A and B are shown apart, each in its own frame.
Chain A
Amino acid sequence: MSTDTHPIVIIGAGQAGAETAIELRKLGHQGRLVIVGEEAQVPYKRPPLSKAYLAGSIAEESLYVMPRPQLEKFGIEVMTSMRVERIDRAGKTLALSDGNSLAYSKLCLATGGRARMLSTPGADKPNVYPLRSIADVQAIRAHCQPGKRAVIVGGGFIGLEVAAVAVKMGLKVTVLEGLPRVLARVTVPEVSAFFEKAHRDAGVDLRTGVQIEAFEGAERVTHVRLGDGTRIETDFIVVGIGLIANVELAQAAGLAVDNGIVVDEFSQTSDPDIVAAGDCTNHPNPHYGRRLRLESVQNAMEQGRAAAHTLFGQPKRYDMVPWFWSDQYDLKLQMVGLSTGFDQFVLRGDPATRSFAAFYLGDGKLIAADAISRPQDFMIAKKLVALRAAVDPARLADESIPLKSLLPA
């Protein structure tokens, strides 16, 4: 029997999975398309979870990539609250959590990741929350009343975004970061210091270089005990300390896995009938000449489209410059490129004005930039980084010279 009559199946109903399905339809794929997702919802956008959705300023429906009637209209079947337990590559079938099996012609792994949790004593108590899903945010929001105390573990994007929203809602917020500064893995000390001041000015009790010894309390955590003996009283805890890629299914199926599901520049795994996209992949990045595993919506969507091209038989090389953003208070942080290995650093503008940019150079070329409430600088930096432009640091720092003029004619 020809397997071509079977659907293309996408495991994972996150943004990579959704974008793969949508791109396949845009390309003109006529056959059946099935997305299998373990959450209760149709695919939705995750970036607003720690921002507008936590703040309560947008409704759940507005998070959906597409409402169900539209998905149906475009022939994208979504199985919700369903897990894939096993991939049988030889038989090209999937074992589902309801006991049924699902045959596939081709498969896309868009399994994403799950929030990393702490192994600290007491971290398994019910008022300790990760923030990765709509369900997580709904649980957190139930605690968000003025005067309540929140302890946020982790001074990365998620932790700081939650702190900004929570303090604005009138909560007493403490942020605990183990490293000596916030955003330590993604930016320079100058930018970290700027964000630390912004949070402290807003009323957040931000502590860096701290160790968490235990979460104390009987049924629920009531105190967080630090390494120096300090005890912080709290009503609940949000943990934002990174993500673990969901690679177990791929690994059990015998696919190559090494800090993510290993794919080539066409999003192909070590099985010709299986592609992978999004947070779960370890993929080659031509721009930086090395392999990356990225946790970003840009990567989820762009790699999803690349995977769709491969599934459709029109492979397109996946070549991108990563970018990221974070909204905290009235500040917009936009970052382009990866600054790892920079040998020169230039500040443009004065952080005291709450609008400035940081540029990272390697061998005289612009490799990355962080813009704080400077959208125009971010957009130009995106082009300069993509071009690997050789730029004069003095001109970068000189605000009287428009950044645009540094673009090659």
Chain B
Amino acid sequence: MPKITFIQPGGASETVDAKPGQSVMEAATGSMIRGIVGECGGSCSCATCHVYVDEPWFSKLKPADEMEAGMLEGAVEPGPQSRLSCQIPVTEAIEGLTVRIPAGQV
């Protein structure tokens, strides 16, 4: 069970146990992490699960595809390490993944 840490805009952090096969978004919504809504259910259609992925994990992830990159352009405060957490599959390789939630994401 890889552990994932979510850091709120105010600095509060919460670490959850994720299950391989889930997405990082599902790990968050299953634990009621604030700021990650996942309105479209994980189909890369709404950008309400946008996060900033800390290094070293950001560089280790399979990069965003064209659809995700397009969504991120219009997400809340996009940055160079922006990803949609529904597009990041949970694997043992991401143990310790740390992501930050953008301010202003309901």
Contact = CB atoms under 8 A, between A and B. Distances in A.
Interface of A: 22, 25-26, 45, 47-48, 51-52, 62, 65-67, 70, 74, 297-298, 301-302, 305, 323, 325, 327, 332, 334, 373-376, 378-380, 382-383, 404
Contact of B75 (A51, A298, A379): A379
Contacts, number: 69
What 7 pairs between A and B have smallest CB-CB spacing? Answer: A379-B74, A375-B70, A376-B70, A45-B41, A325-B45, A376-B73, A375-B71
Contact of A66 (B29, B34, B43): B29
Contacts of B106: 305
A48 B41 contact: yes
A67 to B, nearest CB: 7
A48 B71 contact: no
B37 A301 contact: yes
B31 A332 contact: no
Interface string B34-76: 1001011111111100000000000000000001101101110
17 contacts: A26-B32, A26-B34, A47-B40, A48-B41, A52-B43, A323-B46, A325-B45, A325-B46, A327-B43, A374-B70, A375-B44, A375-B71, A376-B70, A376-B74, A379-B47, A379-B71, A379-B74
A362 to B, nearest CB: 22
Interface string B4-45: 000000000000000001100010011110100101111111
Query: Which residue among B22, B73, B106 has the maximum number of chain A CB atoms within 10 Å of its CB?
Result: B73
Contacts of B37: 301
Contacts of B46: 298, 323, 325
Query: Which residue among B30, B31, B68 has the maximum number of chain A CB atoms within 10 Å of its CB?
Result: B30
Contacts of B67: 332, 373, 375
Nearest to B78: A379
Interface size bucket, B side?
20 to 34
A70 B31 contact: yes
A376 B45 contact: no
A325 B30 contact: no
Given A26-B32, A62-B26, A379 B41 contact: no
B93 to A, nearest CB: 20
A272 to B, nearest CB: 26
Contact of A22 (B32, B68, B71): B32
Nearest to A45: B41
Nearest to B68: A375
A297 B47 contact: no
Contacts of A327: 43, 45
Contacts of B21: 62
A265 to B, nearest CB: 17
Contacts of A25: 32
A400 to B, nearest CB: 17
A332 B45 contact: yes
Contacts of A45: 41
Contacts of A376: 70-71, 73-74
